[in-house]
Structure 1
Amino acid sequence: MSNTLSKYLNILTYVMLGLTVVFVAMFYFGGEVPNAAYPTPVYTDSLIYWAKALFYITVGLSILFPVLQIISDPKGAIKGLIGLAGLGVIILIAYSLSDGTLLNLPGYTGGDNNEGSLKFADTVLYTMYILGVGAIVSIVVTEALRKLR
């Protein structure tokens, strides 16, 4: 990354951090809405809109920079795509392990006790388990190989 671009990104980072501090200070010290049923800060909406803006900026940059990286270095992108394919295989394995059997929840009338929601929750949990165990195994193997060298 060029030195000029790095300088501008550092300035942008500090500006956004400063704005975030201002919004949080307004939220905590800006007073409360009069005659509200519960204590409600006046600047709640402003803080929520700022958080949404930061989220959308993050999503946009998270999509833009990898695309630019693929365009600038197509050979290097192959390794990233292999990793992405590996993650896809892990998610497929987790999905195949998941169970959509409805739960017996006396008194629960919500709509989340359905096959789709339960399979999604199981898939996320199994993916987390597989990746967690993989991380621990890779740490142990890496340290063992380091000791053997």
Structure 2
Amino acid sequence: MTDTINKILQIGLLVVFAISAILFVLFYINGESMTDTVLTWAYILFAFTIMLLIGFPIAFFIKNPKSGLRMLIVIVGFAILYGISYAFASDATNADIYEKAHVTPGISKFIGGGLIMTYILVGITILSLAAASIRKMFN
């Protein structure tokens, strides 16, 4: 069963790679006239990726509910952390560049929340590494 699934996935990957390579060559040869086709293919690949990103965790959760519950707790933790980060983010769009790029206050706050969350996660990572090193020194 696993060998069959692996074989199907390998063939599917080769087909997707071949189509992408052909579109790349056609885009390179024909220029901008292929832009819509290449973008459509990119949207298809993006949608397929999103379906897999949602589908595999659901399948994993169904097969192993206990581990899935841990994963769900982590996802809820990230959502709470982002909510806190979003609350601290500013929606200021003072510079002219924001107006030229059509950045609204909502988009600015969304991006700010993501940046603050990234800073918090980097800080947690650095503190974890430091704590592990200090603990290793005393053991």
Q: Which residue of 2 aligns with 1:5?
A: 5
Q: Which residue of 1 aligns with 2:45?
A: 54
Partners of 2:133 and 2:3 lie apart in 1 by 36
Q: Which residue of 2 aligns with 1:77?
A: 68
Residues 1:26 and 1:126: Cα distance change in structure 2 (over 3 Å) = same
Residues 1:28 and 1:91: Cα distance change in structure 2 (over 3 Å) = same
Within a 5 Å distance, the mapping from 1:9-24 to structure 2 comes to: 9-24=9-24
Partners of 1:75 and 1:15 lie apart in 2 by 36
Q: TM-score, normalised by structure 2?
A: 0.82
Q: Which residue of 1 aligns with 2:33?
A: 42
Partners of 2:20 and 2:136 lie apart in 1 by 43
Higher normalized helix content (fraction of residues):
2
Q: Which residue of 1 aligns with 2:88?
A: 97
Q: Which runs of 5+ in 1 are unaligned?
A: 33-40
Partners of 2:131 and 2:138 lie apart in 1 by 11
Residue identity over aligned pairs, in percent, reads 26
Residues 1:147 and 1:5: Cα distance change in structure 2 (over 3 Å) = farther
- Between structure 1 and structure 2, the one with the greater Rg is 1
Residues 1:142 and 1:18: Cα distance change in structure 2 (over 3 Å) = farther
The code of the aligned residue for 1:68 comes to A
Q: TM-score, normalised by structure 1?
A: 0.77
Partners of 2:77 and 2:53 lie apart in 1 by 20
Answer yes or no: is the 8 Å Cα contact 1:103–1:113 preserved in 2.
Answer: no
Q: Which stretches of structure 1, 4 residues or more, deviate above 6 A after TM superposition?
A: none
What is the root-mean-square deviation of aligned Cα atoms in Å? 2.5
Q: Which residue of 2 aligns with 1:119?
A: 109
Q: Which residue of 1 aligns with 2:27?
A: 27
Which stretch shows the higher mean deviation, 96-105 or 138-147? 138-147
Q: Which residue of 2 aligns with 1:66?
A: 57
